[in-house]
Amino acid sequence: MTTSTAKPAPKKPETLLDKIKAQVSQPLSWLVAIGCLAPLAVLVYQTITDNATANPIQYLTIQTGKIALILLVLSLACTPIVTVTNWKTATKVKRALGLYGFLYVCVHFGVFVFDNGLLDGMIDAVAVVGAIVEKRFAIAGFLAFCLLIPLAITSTKGWQKRLGKRWKKLHRLVYLIVPIAVLHFAWLVKSIVVRPEPIAWGVVVALLLIARIPRVRKSLTDFRARYARFANASRPAR
């Protein structure tokens, strides 16, 4: 007598509805989405109600650039946060923070194009290119924008599977992009003595990059383990 083993049913491909349901079931994703999109909603409201200061173009340029930098730095900080705290949930929001940061970069660049390339109701590409190459801060910003595009396009799991090991190498570009973004901000400010904010951003980014060095990362992990053992030993026995 022979026994036949039934073959498992093939797994159905994940549909768009399945992806939406998965996102809805994750409260953290909603919190990140609300936190990232709320500033954009405020900026849109201020613009359409004529409350974006006396110079709305400059206001939108500055605000979208700052928010983009904040989100990109937060995305860069996720891995060091896991290293120091072992709060692995931080890795789940890393990609979302990066993509929302790219969204603000696109808006930031869109405002720049509108301000510098709008002639007779049409966007003049020559005028935009001229505005970019004219200032070094614009060159740095445009370079960061261009480097972010392939990262945003390949941020999906499908692209991660297609690229394999090359995916990680490609996404290491963020280690170059964020410092360039800080440099863009520093050159835009012109006088860091009057406005030292770019220096603070530079220090934060430098520390986040240093924390990724294998030897430093191992030291941080060992320190976390020693601290956990000490904390457990210090707790009174029940």
* pLDDT tens string 49-73: 988 888 899 999 999 999 999 999 9
Is the model's pLDDT at 142 over the cut of 50?
yes
Domain ranges of the chain: 27-234
Q: How confident is the model at residue 90 (pLDDT cuts 50, 70, 90)?
A: confident
Burial label for 111, CB within 10 Å (0-12, 13-18, 19+), is buried
User: Which of 199, 176, 175 lies closest to 186 in space, CA to CA?
Assistant: 199
Cα distance between residue 46 and residue 24, in whole Å:
29
Cα distance between residue 220 and residue 24, in whole Å:
34
pLDDT at 86 (0 to 100): 87
**Per-residue pLDDT tens for 3-37?**
555 555 555 555 555 555 555 446 788 889 999 99
User: Which of 31, 115, 112 lies closest to 65 in space, CA to CA?
Assistant: 112
Global pTM reads 0.84
Cα distance between residue 7 and residue 115, in whole Å:
62
69-105 b/e with 16+ CB inside 10 Å = b? bbbbbbbbbbbbbbbbeeeeebeebbbbbbbbbbbbb
Collapsed DSSP state (helix, strand, coil) of residue 175: helix
Side chain identity at 93, as an amino acid letter? V
pLDDT at 24 (0 to 100): 47
Mean of all residue pLDDT scores within the chain: 86
